[in-house]
Structure 1
Amino acid sequence: MNRILLAEDDQVMREYLTRALERNGYAVAAVDRGTAALPLIEAEQFDLLLTDIVMPEMDGIELAQRAAEIAPNMRVMFITGFAAVTLKAGRTMPNARVLSKPFHLRDLVMEVDRLFEVEAATGI
């Protein structure tokens, strides 16, 4: 079972995304900010960091950069409602996927599924 670490500061969105991913067979650990995610990344193994970009204390881009130092094989997917931030994320983490809000839950699950299917097909 693939493990996902979700960092999302909006409680309703965090719970909504967690339920959708768990219903589709993923194990999800959810935190409300990037600074809460780092200790988990250091202590546990995750297959995907799914993070909002705009969060208090530490934004998702900085979180992803630090996570890459700790767990270089972990995949990254950003979620954001800000187009300009999307462009910055793509330049900063070129291998990361970016999903723009608003999105339908099935779109999120499809993107996550696709990410893991590519991994399985290429043996990554």
Structure 2
Amino acid sequence: MPRILLAEDDDSLRGFLARALERAGYDVVACPDGDDAALRLDEAWDLLLTDIVMPGLDGIELARQAAARHPGLRIMFITGFAAVALAAGESAPAGAKVLSKPIHLREIVSEVERMIAA
């Protein structure tokens, strides 16, 4: 079962994402911020799904740390800020995907499926 590390500071969105991905057959560990997710980076993951703007460690730095520890790790960002999405595309690890909120849960699950299958 593919494993996803999810970092999202919005409690309700984190819960919705985790449940949708679990229903799609993924093992999801959901963290409330980048600091908490960074503590789990030594584990094996198939995908990092992270918000970009979070208190403490932001999603970009979390992704950089994850990519350094796990070359080839698939990384997907979600953000509600258009300017942040543009900047993330330039500063994110190679191959990372950036999705802008609002986004339907089915679309996120479809994108995750595509990334993991690639």
**TM-score scaled to structure 1, two decimals?**
0.91
Partner of 1:96: 96
Write out per-residue CA displacement over residues 40-64 of structure 1, whole angstroms, 9 at most, x where no aligned residue.
112x100000000000001100110
Unaligned runs of 5+ in 1: 119-124
Q: Report SS of the residue matched to 1:40.
A: coil
Q: Report SS of the residue matched to 2:50.
A: strand
Unaligned runs of 5+ in 2: none
Write out per-residue CA displacement over residues 60-87 of structure 1, whole angstroms, 9 at most, x where no aligned residue.
0011011111112211000001111111
Q: For this pair of structures, how many residues does the alignment match?
A: 117
Partner of 1:76: 75
Partner of 1:59: 58
When Rg is computed on C-alpha atoms for both structures, the one with the higher figure is 1
RMSD, aligned α-carbons? 0.8
Greater CA deviation, 51-60 or 91-100?
Answer: 91-100
User: In the aligned structure 1, how far is the partner of 2:32 from the partner of 2:81?
Assistant: 19
**TM-score scaled to structure 2, two decimals?**
0.95
What is the one-letter code of the residue matched to 2:109? V
**Contact 2:74–2:116 under 8 Å retained in 1:** no
Structure 1 runs of 4+ with >6 Å offset: none
Partner of 2:12: 12
